[in-house]
Structure 1
Amino acid sequence: MGFSLFGRNNSNKEDNSDETVKQNVVMVPVNTIVPNRFQPRQVFDERGIEELAQTIADHGLLQPIVLREYEDKKYEIIAGERRFRAINSLHWQEVPAIIETLSDDETASLALIENLQREGLSPIEEAQAYRSLMKLNHLTQASLAKEIGKSQSFVANKLRLLKLSQPVQDAMMKHEISERHGRALLAVTDKQQEKLLKRIETDHLTVKDAERLIQRSKAKAKPKPTLHSVSADTRVAVNTIRESVKMVTDAGLQVQTSEEDGDDHYRITIDIIKKS
C-alpha cells in the first residue's frame, strides 16, 4: 500500500470528471465505538476536552467523526477521538458519523496523517507517527519527507529523538521539556540524560543553560590521560591545574580542556567559552 493512498478519493476519476463523492452521515450508538488502536496521540489535554464538550453542548457537533466497521455493528474511530471523548463526557447516546471501509493499514495511516495535520502532538508523538508511517507504507526517510512536504533532514532529526532515554521521552511527551532540550541531551549517554533531566526540570533551565550543563558533564566524563610517565612534581602541577579547572566549571563557566603527553613536555589546553 503506497502513501499516495491518501489521495484515493480522486484516484479513480477522470481528470475532466465533475462527479463528486457524497458521504452519508449516520447516527451510531456511542457504546458501539472504540478508540483507534493506532492513535498516535498518547496524552490528551483534559481541559481542552472539557472546553470542546462545552462547545458541542452549546452548538452541536459541527463535524461528524469518521469510523470504520471492524465487526458487525462495531466501530473504530479513524478521525475525531477528541470529539468522541467530549461527546462521552456529555453522555450522548448516539453520535453523527461517516462510515469508511478501510483495512488495518489504511486505518492506521489515516489516523496518523489526521493527527499530524493538527496541533498539539508532542515531538515524541510526532516522531513515533513518522516511524509508523514509514513502516506501514514501506517508505524511506527521503520518500516520507517528499510525501509530507518536509526535508529529509527534518524527518531524520525528528526520528533521532526516539534514541533518547525513556524518561527524557516521557518528559517531552508531557511537554515538561522542549524539543531543543531533548536534542541537546542526545549528546550524552542514557545514564547522563536521566541525571541531567532532573537538573533541567528542577532548576527550570533554559536551553542555553542546559547546553552548558551538558558540555560540562561531557568534559567531566571524558577520561583523562594517565601521568605514569611524568615526574612527581609534574603530576602535582597537572593535578593542581585540573582542580582549578573544576573550580571554574563549578562556578558556572563553560570550559573545554585537552591534554597531551609529549616526549619532553605535558601540554594542557584550556578554552574558556565566552558567554553569549
Structure 2
Amino acid sequence: MTKVVKKQALGRGLSALLKDPENNIQSVDDKNADKVVGNIIELDIEAIEINPFQPRSNFNEEALQELAISIRELGVIQPITVRKLDFNKYQLISGERRLRASKSIGLTTVPAYIRIANDQESLEMALVENIQRHDLDPIEIALSYQRLIDEIQLTQEQMSERVGKKRSTIANYLRLLKLDPIIQTGIRDGFISMGHGRAIINIDDLDVQTDIYQKIVSGNLSVRETEALVKNYQESLKPAPAKTAKGTSFKVADDEQKAIATYFGAKVDVKVAANGKGKITIPFHSEEDFNRIIKLIKG
C-alpha cells in the first residue's frame, strides 16, 4: 500500500495550481504553462472525458480486471496522457484502459501527462500513441492507419517514421481493410489470425473470400493450409491446355473441370483414354486437407 500512496501523491502541488481560477492555462504561452505542460500531475478522474478519436473500440473485460488488480496493488505505473480543454476540464489522448481500470476500483485521481493541442493534433497523438503502446487488434490498427491517411493526410512513409514501423508492415495492415466485413469481424473476434487474412486478401471475389473463411473456421485450417487453398483456387482459374489424348472418346470441357476444381478447392487433373475410361486426380497437401476432401466426397 505504501507504493500506491507515493504514486497518488505525485504532482499534488501542480494539481492545486490547475484548480486555481487565476491560473487557467489555455496555451503554452500562458503564465505557469511551463510548470504544467508535459509534467505528470494527479488529475480528478471526473474532470477527464473520453477522447472521441480513440481508435480502440473493443475492451477485454478480463484483461481490464487484471489491470485493475495490478493498479490496486501497485498504483498507475504509466501515467495517462490528456489535453487541457478548459478550466479543470481535460480530454483523454491515450490510456483509456488505465482510466477505466482506475474507475472500476474507485480511484478518484489518476496520474496524467498534460498537453495542450487542437483537435487534429489530439487525433494524431491518440492514433500514434495507441498504435505504439496498446495491443489493438489488427483491424483496429489498420483503421488507425487509415484515419492517419484520411484525416491527417499522412503518407505511408510519414506514418512509418511516426510509429516506428516499416512501410511494408503498414501496407499489410491497410490491405486487411479490403477483406469482406465478415472476415474483418472474424479477425477482430479472434476466429482467424492476421496471417489468414493476408492469405485471403489475394482473392478479389468477396464471395469466394467468405467461402474460404468459412472453410478455415470449420476446418480449423492453419495459415499454411489457407495459403495452399488460396493458391489452388487461383491456379484453378488459369486456362489449362487440353488434357485429353488424341482420339479420346469424349472431351471434358474446361468449365466442367473448373467446377470440379472449385468444389474440391484443389487443382484437379482429369484424363480420358481413347476407350472412354479415365481418372480424376485430386491432390492434397496434408492429413487435414485429405480429411477435408473426404468430407466433401461423403457429402
| TM-score, with structure 2 as normaliser | 0.66
- Counterpart residue type for residue 212 of structure 1: A
**2:78 is the alignment partner of 1:50:** no
Distance 2:122 2:55 in 1: 12
Q: Which residue of 1 aligns with 2:56?
A: 41
Q: Deviations over 1:33-85 (max 9, x none)?
A: 22221222222222221111111111222232221233443321112111101
User: How far 1:148 sits from its partner (Å)?
Assistant: 3.8
2:202 is aligned with 1:162: no
Deviation at 1:142, TM superposition (A): 2.7
Please say if residues 79 and 114 of structure 1, whose CA atoms lie closer than 8 Å, have aligned partners that are also in contact: yes
CA contact (8 A) 1:249 1:255 kept: no
Give the counterpart letter for 1:199 in structure 2: K
- Corresponding residue for 1:118? 133
Aligned twin of 1:176: 191
1:80 aligns with 2:95: yes
The code of the aligned residue for 1:47 comes to: E
The 8 Å contact of residues 43 and 174 in structure 1, kept in 2 or not, is answered as no
Q: Which residue of 2 is the match for residue 255 of structure 1? A: 267
Q: 1:237: which partner in 2?
A: 251
- Distance between the aligned counterparts of 1:155 and 1:245, measured in 2? 37
Using a 3 Å threshold, how does the CA distance of structure 1 residues 238 and 155 change in structure 2: closer, same or farther?
Answer: same
User: Could you say what the CA RMSD is over the residues aligned between the two structures, in angstroms?
Assistant: 3.8
Task: Give the structure-1-normalised TM-score.
Answer: 0.71
Contact between 2:81 and 2:114, CA under 8 Å: does it hold in 1?
Answer: yes
Using the alignment, how far apart are the partners of 2:155 and 2:249 within structure 1? 54
Residue 195 of structure 1 corresponds to which residue in structure 2?
211
Secondary structure class of the residue paired with 1:255: coil
**199 and 116 in structure 1: CA distance in 2 versus 1, 3 angstrom threshold:** same
**Deviation readout 1:6-33 (Å, 9 max, x if unpaired):** xxxxxx9xxxxxx999744433332332
Give, in whole Å, the separation in 2 of the partners of 1:85 and 1:151.
Answer: 32
Partner of 2:260: 246
Alpha-carbon distance, 1:195 to partner: 2.3
Q: Counterparts in 2 of 1:137-152, with a 5 A limit?
A: 137-152=152-167
Whole-Å separation in 2 of the counterparts to 1:132 and 1:241? 43
Quote the Cα distance in structure 2 between the aligned partners of 1:151 and 1:180: 17
Residues 146 and 68 (structure 1 numbering): CA distance in 2 closer, same or farther, change over 3 Å?
A: closer
CA deviation after TM superposition for structure 1 residue 247, in Å: 7.8
Q: What is the match of residue 105 of structure 2? A: 90
Match of 1:68 among 59, 75, 83: 83
Task: Calculate percent identity across the aligned residue pairs.
Answer: 34
Pick closer, same or farther for the CA change 1:246–1:85 going to 2, 3 Å.
same
CA separation of 1:63 and 1:133: change in aligned 2, threshold 3 A: same
Report the counterpart of residue 230 of structure 2 in structure 1: 214
Query: What do residues 156-196 of structure 1 show as CA deviations (whole Å, max 9, x unaligned)?
Result: 22211111111111111223211111011112211222222
CA distance in 2, matches of 1:156, 1:247: 32
Aligned length: 239
Query: Deviation per CA, 1:131-150, whole angstroms, max 9, x where unpaired?
Result: 22233432222333344444
The partner residue of 2:146 within 131, 156, 172 is 131
Counterparts of 2:167 and 2:211 in 1: how far apart (Å)? 32
Structure 2 distance, partners of 1:75, 1:21, is 13
Give secondary structure in 1 for the equivalent of 2:54. coil
Q: C-alpha distance in 2, partners of 1:244/1:129? A: 40
* Structure 1, 19-28 or 122-131: larger mean CA deviation: 19-28
Distance of 1:159 and 1:170 partners within structure 2:
15
Aligned with 1:28: secondary structure? strand
Residues in 2 aligned to 1:127 and 1:274: alpha-carbon distance in whole angstroms: 34
Structure 1: runs of 5+ lacking an equivalent: 1-11, 13-18, 226-232, 259-269
- Aligned counterpart in structure 2 of residue 105 of structure 1, from 106, 115, 120: 120
- Report the counterpart of residue 266 of structure 1 in structure 2: none
| Alpha-carbon distance in structure 1 between the residues aligned to 2:62 and 2:206 | 33
